[in-house]
Structure 1
Amino acid sequence: LAASVYMLTVKFPADEKYSLTQQIRRSALSICANLAEGTTRTSPKDQAHFTTISYSSMMELLNHLIIASDLGYINDEELNKMKVQIQPISVKLSKLKQSQLSKLSGLKTIFLMIFSWSLFQPLQPLNF
């Protein structure tokens, strides 16, 4: 997706180089960068957080592409090609986040089971 965005924005007007062109490219790079950063996190909550940021960057990219289309920098066919690339990624990101949050839910359940079990265990004297 990022490579497609870079190729698409090459033809943007020079006066947009530090404005819309840069915003579009940054949002495209942010999608994969946040996914990469999220994979380094050990907690499902942190992983889901970075997946959410990635998804938000994708929506930002789509918004910028629509604006570029409205301004005549890309045509409807180019916009639709980008939408075709974005749509399956959005589905995958949504499923990834659900999976990450379900792991979090599972961990909470295990913690509560262990905690509840420990409440009913007799206290053992400490031997020093």
Structure 2
Amino acid sequence: MAYQSFEELEVWKRARSFKNEIHTLVKRFPTEEKFRLSDQLIPSSRSINSQIAEGHGRQTNPDRLRFCIIARGSLSETLNHLIDAFDCQLISHTELDFLRVKVQEIEKLLNGYITFLQNKSTTK
């Protein structure tokens, strides 16, 4: 299998798109949310990509797996913050559902990548 940059990973591409959607979304939030929910959503959504990239750069599969699992945690954290945004009436139910689908798509890709790395670890 040829070397693949983290930028070529479909999971990283989808997480990047999601991160950009979150960034656009929080621009609509009221000013008082700048140091509350906005400052929670932006870092958690950025962390998904960062963890995938950092794990990709590690030498061993256990390290790669660990960072992917952290990325999955950041994805869950981001969904939780989106639910908070809905509860605070900052986003609509339709928006939450749309973003939840994106989270589920990324989670499936991330779980697939984790399984791939786990299988690669056991075959060596």
Aligning the two structures, in what range does the TM-score lie when normalised by the shorter sequence? 0.7 to 0.9
Provide the residue aligned with 2:87 in structure 1: 70
The one-letter amino acid of 1:14's match is T
Q: Which runs of 4+ in 1 moved over 4 A?
A: none
CA distance in 2, matches of 1:51, 1:12: 30
Select 2:108's aligned residue among 91, 95, 112: 91
Q: Distance in 2 between the 1:43 and 1:103 partners?
A: 11
Q: Hey, what's the Cα distance between the residues in 2 that align with 1:35 and 1:73?
A: 29
Unaligned runs of 5+ in 1: 108-128
Partner of 1:122: none
Equivalent in the alignment of 1:101: 118
User: Unmatched 5+ residue regions in structure 2?
Assistant: 1-17
Percent identity for Structure 1 against Structure 2:
32
Corresponding residue number in structure 2 for 1:21: 38
- Select 2:54's aligned residue among 13, 37, 45: 37
How many pairs are equivalent?
107
- Give the CA deviation at 1:19: 1.4
- Of the two, which has the highest radius of gyration? 1
| 1:6 matched to 2:23 | yes
Amino acid at match of 1:16: E
Cα RMSD of the aligned pairs, angstroms, is 0.8
Corresponding residue of 1:120: none
Partner SS, residue 73 of structure 1 = coil
- Normalised by the length of structure 1, the TM-score is 0.81
Give the CA deviation at 1:98: 1.0
Find the aligned partners of 2:92 and 2:99 in 1 and give their Cα distance: 11
The reply to whether residue 48 of structure 1 matches residue 65 of structure 2 is yes
1:91-119 CA distance string (max 9 Å, x none): 01011111111111122xxxxxxxxxxxx
